[in-house]
Structure 1
Amino acid sequence: MKRFITGALLAITCTYALAAKIEYKFYIRYNVENKRIISIKTDKNTPSNIQEKCTEELLNGSASKLLEASAKGKTGTVNLTYFCSH
């Protein structure tokens, strides 16, 4: 049986984001054993072009390495929060 870690929320912020830009919140379920994203959810008011850019960044960009590093030392599935602005 897999154990789920439900209380783990981690805020990862984009280092290049300016203070004037709006940050959108993405909720990520990440499987530590397989090193894979299970699901990505966002708020309803997030524009579709932002959803596409940030999801692509999570799946293929530098943020995917940050997810792996932030989940290091944990087991099962962890819940992470990612803040993205474009």
Structure 2
Amino acid sequence: MVQWKRLCQQHYLWALGCYMLLATVALKFAFRLKCDSDHLGLESRESQSQYCRNVLYNFLKLPAKRSINCSGVTRGDQEAVLQAILN
């Protein structure tokens, strides 16, 4: 019985890791545009942030009311992508 429990836990962690890797790769390709904040106006930064939210909501199938922090995602920051997924 203990062996099955350990196997299920390992399978769950493996599946979670694969899901996070898949989401990171998909978001990396979705945000190939580099954001240089010095040359962009406020409107374009806001529209890019909205684009980020739309991609995350659609890809991860999140409820529309759930808030997402996209501050580093538009720069392609991998830690920000993972935090956006985990939050």
- What TM-score comes out, normalization by structure 1 length? 0.28
Higher alpha-carbon Rg: 2
Q: Which one has a larger percent strand, Structure 1 or Structure 2?
A: 1
- What TM-score comes out, normalization by structure 2 length? 0.28
